[in-house]
Structure 1
C-alpha cells in the first residue's frame, strides 16, 4: 500500500510516520518539497504519488494567531482537507484526518459525544469544524479523529514548556478551570494504526471518533503531574508539584477563547476497536520517560 502522509514534521505526523510503516510505503513530503497552500502543486503531487491511503496530519495549530490570520488558518484546516477529500472520493481511497475538541462550545461538564452539536468559540475552532464538514460532505471513505490537548516528547507543547519553566522557577500559576485529557501524539498514531488494521481485516471504522486517554484534569493538574513524575525520574527541576497554583481563565486572557469543557467521550472508539483506552497519567509517564531518553 502506498500511503501519502502530510504534516510528518509535526508532533502527530512524526509518530504516524513511524507507526504506519508496517502498512506499506509511506510517502511523507517535507515542507520544502510540497507547499500545502498551493492547490495546484498538491494536485500534482497526488497525481504523481497515486496514494492508496491519505493520512492528513497537517494543520494550523497556532490558536491565538488564527484570530488575526484567519485565511491562513482556513487554508490548512479547511481548504486542504477539502481538496484531499475530493481527491479521495474520486479515487475511491480512504482519508484519515485529525480534528479538535475546539469544535465544541465548551460549556457544561458532560463529556462531548460525536453526535453533539458543535459551536466553536474561536477562529481556530471554526477552521477545524469547516475541515471536518468538508471531509464528511465529500462522500469519501473517511476517518476523523477529534482529540484534545496534544503533546509529545518532540515538538513544541505544554509538557515541554512546563519542564523548561520548572527548571527556571520555584512557582507557577496555571489555569485550573479548563478541563480535558492530555493526549500524547504517540497514542494518536497507535490508535490510527489499529483502526487501519481493522480496515484490512474487513471491519472498517468510518466517520467521526473521539480519541483521548481516559480521565480528566485541568491544565494546573496536568502541570502538577508533569512535575511529580519528572521529579521521580530525577529530571532537573527547581519546582515541585505543590508549588503550582491554580488561576481562573479570566486571569489569563488570550486572543482566542478556550473551551472550559474539553472532555471527550471515547466510548464509541473503544467499542469499535474492542479495547479500553489508557488513562492520561500513565501516558504522561511514558512520554516523560521517552523525553528523558531523547533529551531536549
Structure 2
C-alpha cells in the first residue's frame, strides 16, 4: 500500500484504531499523516498506553524461539538457493566460471531435517509465523538481488572488499571500517550482509543522538536494521540500513559524525535491492 493510499482521509480520533497506531509506530504512514497524528497522539494517554503495549509485544516476540517454517516454504527457499548456487558454478560456453571465495563446493543445507506441521497452534502463533516468513522472504530477496549484482563489472565503481575483524588489546573483537570509493554507496552483496548484521553506531550510540539524527533525515519511529562505521572517499561515515516497507528493498543512509537533532549531515542516501 502506498502513502497516497494511506492518505485517503485524515485520521479520525481519539480513540485511534490499534491498526493505525501500529502503522504509526512502524513508520508506515506517509510523512504528512504521520506528523498530523503524532501531534495528537503525544498528548493522548490512551494512545500512549497502546504504543507502550506494542513495544512490549515486540520485545516479547523478539525473545520467542523461532517457529519451524512450513515444509512448502522451506522447499521453495532451498530450491531457490540450490538454483542460485548452481548458476554460480556454471558459465556460458566460452566464458570462465567465477572462482568461488572458498575451495569447497557450494552446498545448500536443508533448513530443517524434520518438517512437521504445527498442531494445535492458535491464530496468534500463525500470525507470528506469517510475520517471520514475510521478514525472511524480504531479507532473502535482498540477498538474492545483492548477490546477482555485477560487482565485478567495469561499468560500476567497485567498492572495497569487506575488511576482516580485528582484536583489540582488551580481547574485544572490533570491526574495521569498510572503505568505499565512488559517487555513491556501491555495496556488493557480501558488504551489505556485513552491514545488515552489524550494530556499530559509534558516535550515534548516545540514546538522544540516533533518534534526532534519523528525524533530521525524515525518519521517525524506525530502528535501523543494521549500522556500520565506514569510510567513503576517505571520510568517516556512519552507514545505516533502514526498511522501506517493500520486500527486498532497503534504504542506505550515510551520515557524518555530526548528525543529530536538527543536523541531518547527509552524505549519501540511496536504495539497495528492490
TM-score (normalizing by structure 2) = 0.23
Which structure exhibits the higher relative contact order, with contacts defined as CA atoms closer than 8 Å and separated by 6 or more residues? 1
Larger Cα Rg: Structure 1 or Structure 2?
2
Structure (1/2) with the larger helix percentage: 1
TM-score (normalizing by structure 1) = 0.22
